[in-house]
Amino acid sequence: MTLALSGNEVASQIEEQFPGSVAESTADSLLVKGESLLEIAAYLKTTPGLDFDYLTSITAVDYYDYFEVIYQLTSIEHNHSLVVKARCYGRENPTLPSVVSLWRAADFQEREIYDLMGISFEGHPNLKRIALWDGFEGHPLRKDFL
């Protein structure tokens, strides 16, 4: 069975490397600051012992005050997993860095989140709607969509 790593333990490891980049951590997950997301993701992927070589899924939640994007990472090599979260603010143009450069699996999922939640992923090579058509107005999974 895949071992779920403690968010607290990984958070302290990240804090050593990138001071001030972790906003919050629990036993289940860690919340990182949006501007540090890409470097932390690269660190999680390439650091020996962590080796998160597989992106299981990305999803997003609308909490009205902010959007939270949740990354579920797995290491096939070590058979362990980790949940990383990041928040972005504002309803006009919430933005986070794209992780497509690290995991190609992020390509379609970031497009889906862009399509249905309206979150932009900076650095995505092909950020456009995926499920709905070009010209559709609004982002249907937002809580204020009618």
Binding footprint of other proteins on the chain (CB under 8 A): 125-126, 128-129, 131-136, 138, 140, 145
From the CB of 132, what's the least distance to other proteins, in Å? Answer: 6
At its nearest, how many Å lie between other proteins and the CB of residue 92? 21
| 89: number of Cβ within 10 Å | 10
CA–CA distance, 44 with 82 (Å, rounded to integer): 10
Which residue's CB is nearer to other proteins, number 105 or number 132?
132
DSSP state letters, 101-114:
TT-TTHHHHHHHHH
Nearer to other proteins, 134 or 144 (CB): 134
For residues 30 and 113, which CB has a smaller minimum distance to other proteins in the complex? 113
Which of 89, 136 has the CB closer to other proteins? 136
Minimum CB separation of residue 134 from other proteins in Å reads 3
Task: Indicate the pairing of strand 80-89 with strand 3-4.
Answer: parallel
How far lies 82's CA from each of 64, 74, 85, 126, in Å?
25, 6, 10, 27
Of 98, 111, 95, 118, nearest in space to 41 by CA: 98
Least separation in angstroms between residue 49's CB and other proteins is 30
CB of 135: closest distance to other proteins in angstroms? 4
Which element (helix H / strand E) includes 12?
helix 7-17
Which is closer to other proteins, CB of 128 or CB of 143?
A: 128
Contact yes or no for 53/45 (Cβ under 8 A): yes
